[in-house]
Amino acid sequence: MRDAIVWVRLQARGSTQPLGVRRSIVAKPTFVIQFPSPASPDLMHRVLNFVEDVYRELRDRRIGFLDRDIDHYASGRFVVRVSSSRYLGDVSSLISNLLGQHNLGNDAIVTRADRPTEGRAV
């Protein structure tokens, strides 16, 4: 019953969506950053510092977020979701710059996971 009330309210506010039609959900642009696993303690330390910096920048600039807990290396895989397609270039350059600052450019594989050909290199 609650859903029907929501739909009626949408119609009353002049929504262009007819009753019963649902909007399609578009996946947010997604980057996957993969590091070697198992890794040396030095590499894990640098990776976790890198991930904390990525998290902090995404949060402060409000352009994306990380999918997982950033304090655990476990698989060496970190997923970055971009809040909007317009920030895709910003997030891509942010990741590249931070990889360079942390000397991780040769250790990371960054791919776009939301494309039809999953796992394409950026």
Within 10 angstroms of residue 61's Cβ, the number of other Cβ atoms is 13
Is residue 71 included in any domain, yes or no?
A: yes
pLDDT confidence band for 113 (50 / 70 / 90):
confident
Distance CA 37, CA 31 (A): 18
Is residue 53 included in any domain, yes or no?
A: yes
Q: What is the pTM of this model?
A: 0.71
Q: Which residues contact 45 (CB under 8 A, 6 or more apart)?
A: none
Taking only the tens place, the pLDDT of each residue in 24-76 is 455 789 999 999 988 899 999 999 999 999 999 999 999 999 987 777 777 88
Q: Which residues contact 22 (CB under 8 A, 6 or more apart)?
A: none
Contact in structure between 121 and 32 (CB atoms under 8 Å): no
Is residue 33 included in any domain, yes or no?
A: yes
120 vs 109, more confident: 109
Is residue 74 included in any domain, yes or no?
A: yes
Is residue 39 included in any domain, yes or no?
A: yes
88: domain CATH number is 3.30.70
The residue written with tokens 């920030």 in the block is: 87
Is residue 1 included in any domain, yes or no?
A: no
Is residue 5 included in any domain, yes or no?
A: no
Q: How many domains does the chain have?
A: 1
Q: Is the dihedral of CA 54, 60, 64, 68 positive or negative?
A: positive
- Residue range(s) defining the domain that contains residue 88: 25-121
Is residue 83 included in any domain, yes or no?
A: yes
